[in-house]
Amino acid sequence: MGTLFETGETMSDSIGYDIVGIGFGPANLALAVALHDSHSRMKHSFCEQKPAFSWHLGMQMEGSSMQTPFLEDLATRYDPRSKFTFLNYLKMNGRLTDFADLREFFPSRREFNDYFQWAAKKLSHCVRYDTVVTSVVPVESDAHTVDALEIGMVDTRTGQRSSIRTRNAVLGLGYSPVVPKNASAVSNGRVFHSITTLPSLDGRFVSKEAPYSFLVAGGGQSAAEIVLHLLRTYRNARVTVVSRGFLFRSKDPNAFVSAFYTGGAADEFYDLDDDARRLLLSTLDESNYAAADADLLRELAKTVYADKVDGRKRLELHSFCELNEVEETHAKVTATCWSQTEKREKIIEVDGLCLATGFDHAGLRHALTGVDEYLERDADGEYRVNREYRLESKAAFRAGIYVQGYARNYHGCTEGTISDLPHRAHRIIESIHHQRYERYERFERANRQLAIGEVVA
């Protein structure tokens, strides 16, 4: 048997990779950057179903800005000397001085997507695009322990199926759109989720002058951006918004709240007990989730005011009003809502309905079906996550499964945001390095015992 750590581990046991990343969005892109910047010798690969890197293309609306400053990029908070910083991206593209002259901390979403694509191209050698992961199954050793995972996949261009083995899988799957059950069977294109806003509008609502009527369900950042886009793009459109909470609430951008969106805060949050975590999350929800940037709301208010100057009203808001039922035909959408304040049902008929109803982890849970029996769950039925973002498992399960964006109940508000991707990425790498060192120690111990046995013999 070869020696560990010669050029990475010797794979005489047919385990081909130290790390396989499933999904290649911003989270696993940050992991790839961290592996590069740390000069890691661990063999790694990423699988992504899209043909190339892209991020929220359906929400790249004109004028939409990032909610986090440019310093919260793929590398700066961990190592500002990295060549993968946003500032280096600007320098390499000849825009550093121009961007500095703007005195703007929040780039456009379009530019940040271009920055992500720029970084992803530099790391394309370790990414399998057009690849859908079909299964994650345990590989048992002779000692009845699970030391590896077999990742089944299919090439969407050729249909060819294959599999690879890895000691660790890092799931950066992003989130699955939440669609109300009564709207999940729609097929006429009049009902769509916020993540597909631009292609859905371009495909169904072609005329920019037509007097369309739209309903937007939701009250957060995405809902506000979509409402502003609809009012600006379709000058004769009427837009109605319903939200279970108050419309629209501004995010709290002060430095004391922002401090909770850092890697250090994530570690402190992990050390709290369950009750303290719930209390902190419920408090911070009011300052960030289901809220929108103040600048965006100011632009929306200016647009509404301009309509008033012109003697017309195109926006109607219904706070504390929940979408309960959706019926779609080839000609219209009928939405049945319940007003909590008026204690009555409201029927709203529109040409199109946008569901800015958020996301969940359905994709992650589906991906882990093959190993679910080995994983530990908490009282709420969610997977337990340790400090290093590794899913806790039974003793016989030694392979590592790490999650990005899932552990909000354990690591707090940084989960689900891009505010501190480098911290999480490096924490995962350090954990895998530690596990690798422990295997090396076991390997050396076994070699010593074998040598002693040979001498005695």
Query: The domain spanning residue 59 has which CATH number?
Result: 3.50.50.60
Taking residues 352-370, report their average pLDDT: 89
Last residue of a domain, one of 340, 358, 376: 358
Percent of the residues in the chain that have a pLDDT greater than 70, as a whole number: 90
Amino acid, res. 94? G
Instruction: From residue 144, give the alpha-carbon distance in Å to each of 148, 287, 398, 430.
Output: 12, 48, 11, 27
Please determine, for residue 156, whether its predicted confidence score (pLDDT) is greater than 70: yes
- 163 and 60 assigned to the same domain: yes
Number of CB atoms found within 10 A of residue 51's CB: 11
Contact (CB, 8 A) for 76 and 82: yes
Take residue 301 and report the two structure tokens written for it: 């208010």
Residue 104 CB partners (closer than 8 Å, separation 6+): none
Q: Residue 194: name the closest of 358, 26, 415, 375 by CA.
A: 358
400 domain-assigned: yes
190 domain-assigned: yes
| Cα gap 72→262, rounded to integer Å | 10
Better-predicted residue by pLDDT, 443 or 195: 195
- 77 and 188 assigned to the same domain: no
- 74 and 181 assigned to the same domain: no
Last residue of a domain, one of 337, 358, 379: 358
- 167 and 202 assigned to the same domain: no
Q: Is the dihedral of CA 350, 356, 360, 362 positive or negative?
A: positive
Instruction: From residue 65, give the alpha-carbon distance in Å to each of 69, 221, 233, 238.
Output: 10, 11, 17, 24
274 domain-assigned: no
Return the residue matching tokens 């695009």: 129
- 303 and 223 assigned to the same domain: yes
| Cα gap 445→457, rounded to integer Å | 18
| Cα gap 402→22, rounded to integer Å | 10
Least confident of 24-38, 343-357, 403-417: 403-417
| Cα gap 170→360, rounded to integer Å | 18
444 domain-assigned: yes
Taking residues 435-453, report their average pLDDT: 59
Return the residue matching tokens 């990343």: 21
In this predicted structure, what is the pLDDT of residue 4? 29
In this predicted structure, what is the pLDDT of residue 113? 95
- 57 and 127 assigned to the same domain: yes
Contact (CB, 8 A) for 28 and 115: no
Q: How do residues 391-441 score in pLDDT, each as one tens digit?
A: 999 999 999 999 998 888 888 877 878 888 999 999 999 999 988 766 655
10 domain-assigned: no
Burial of 83 (0-12, 13-18, 19+ CB in 10 A): middle
Please determine, for residue 457, whether its predicted confidence score (pLDDT) is greater than 60: no
Amino acid, res. 279? L
Last residue of a domain, one of 331, 358, 385: 358
Q: What is the DSSP string of 174-220?
A: --EEP--GGGTT--SSSEEEGGGHHHHHHHH---SSS--EEEEE--S
270 domain-assigned: no
Whole-structure pTM value: 0.88
Taking residues 103-119, report their average pLDDT: 95
- 186 and 162 assigned to the same domain: no
Return the residue matching tokens 């219209």: 332
Q: Is the dihedral of CA 48, 49, 53, 54 positive or negative?
A: negative
- 162 and 66 assigned to the same domain: yes
- 246 and 311 assigned to the same domain: yes
Amino acid, res. 143? A
Taking residues 152-179, report their average pLDDT: 92
Better-predicted residue by pLDDT, 407 or 286: 407
Its domain, for residue 309, covers 177-251+293-358
In this predicted structure, what is the pLDDT of residue 255? 81
Instruction: From residue 175, give the alpha-carbon distance in Å to each of 12, 64, 315, 443.
Output: 37, 21, 30, 39
Contact (CB, 8 A) for 370 and 138: yes
The pLDDT-based confidence of 2 (bands split at 50, 70, 90) is very low
- 322 and 413 assigned to the same domain: no
**Which pairing describes strands 352-355 and 191-193: parallel, antiparallel, or unpaired?**
parallel
Burial of 452 (0-12, 13-18, 19+ CB in 10 A): exposed
Better-predicted residue by pLDDT, 453 or 34: 34
Amino acid, res. 372? D
132 domain-assigned: yes
- 103 and 221 assigned to the same domain: no
Better-predicted residue by pLDDT, 449 or 304: 304
| Cα gap 20→370, rounded to integer Å | 16
Give the count of domains, the chain: 2
319 domain-assigned: yes
Please determine, for residue 1, whether its predicted confidence score (pLDDT) is greater than 60: no
| Cα gap 396→145, rounded to integer Å | 5
- 76 and 117 assigned to the same domain: yes
